[in-house]
Structure 1
Amino acid sequence: MSNFRRQRRKGVAMTAAWLYFRFPLSLRMVEEMLASRGILVSHETVRQRGLTFGRGIADQPRRRAPQRGDNWHLGEVVLNIAGKRQYLRRTVDRVGFVPNVLCRAGAMPRRPSACSANC
C-alpha cells in the first residue's frame, strides 16, 4: 500500500474522531454519516482514534480563545423590537470566532470601554 493511501486513511479517521468529539454524535452515527458521503470508516476505528487523539481534539477550541493582540471586527445592527429601537453589536476575531453578542436599548458609545476590552 502506498504511503499516500495510508496518510489519507489517517486523515479520514482523524476527521471522524473530530466529528465524534465536536458534535453530540455516537460512534455509529459518525460511521453512518461518513458512509452516506462514500467514506468507509468503522466505528471501532473512530473509537481507537478518539482514545489516541481525543485530548488534543477536545483542547482545540480552548486554544482558539481570543488573545489580547487579536484583531477584532465590530458589526452593528439597529433593530426594532416591540416598537423600541435596539442596537445589536457583534464582535468577530480574525479566525471567525464570535465571543459575544450585545443587545441594548440605548445608543452605544463609539469607543469600547476598558471593561469590554479586557473581557
Structure 2
Amino acid sequence: MKLAVRVKLLPTPEQASALGATLRACNEAASWLSSEAFTHQVTSRAGLQAHAYVDLRLRGLSAQPALHVVRKVADAYAALKVTSIRRTPVRNAPGVTTSTGATGRRRPSSSAGSAASLSTRI
C-alpha cells in the first residue's frame, strides 16, 4: 500500500532565495541544453548526458539537478516527437473521409451513425 503525503515547505527567506536561484539555474540550463540538443540533433537521455553533463556541472549544477535537466529536456523532445508523429497526415483509402475531433486524433467519419441518418431511416 502506498501512502501519499502532501507537505508544505515553509523556508526561511534565505532558503527561499536559494531555492529560487536553483530553479532559475536549472531552467536556464534546460534552455541551453535544449538549444544544444537541437543544434547537434541529440535527443536521447544517454546522448544528452554524454554530450552535456560536464558542461552542466561547470554551470554550477550539482549532480542531481544536472541529471534532472537532462531528463527534462530528453522527455520534452520525446513528447514533441510523439506529438509530431500523431499530426502527420494519414493517407486515406479511396472514398473514405476522415475528421478530426477535439482530441486531434483522426478517425473515419461515417454517416451511418449520425443523427441525421437515423432520422431519415425512421
Shared fold, TM over 0.5: no
Structure 1 or 2: more strand by fraction:
1
- Structure with the bigger RCO (C-alpha within 8 Å, sep 6+) is 2
TM-score range, shorter chain: 0.3 to 0.5
Q: Which has the larger radius of gyration?
A: 2
**TM-score, length of structure 2 as denominator length:** 0.35
Higher helix share: 2
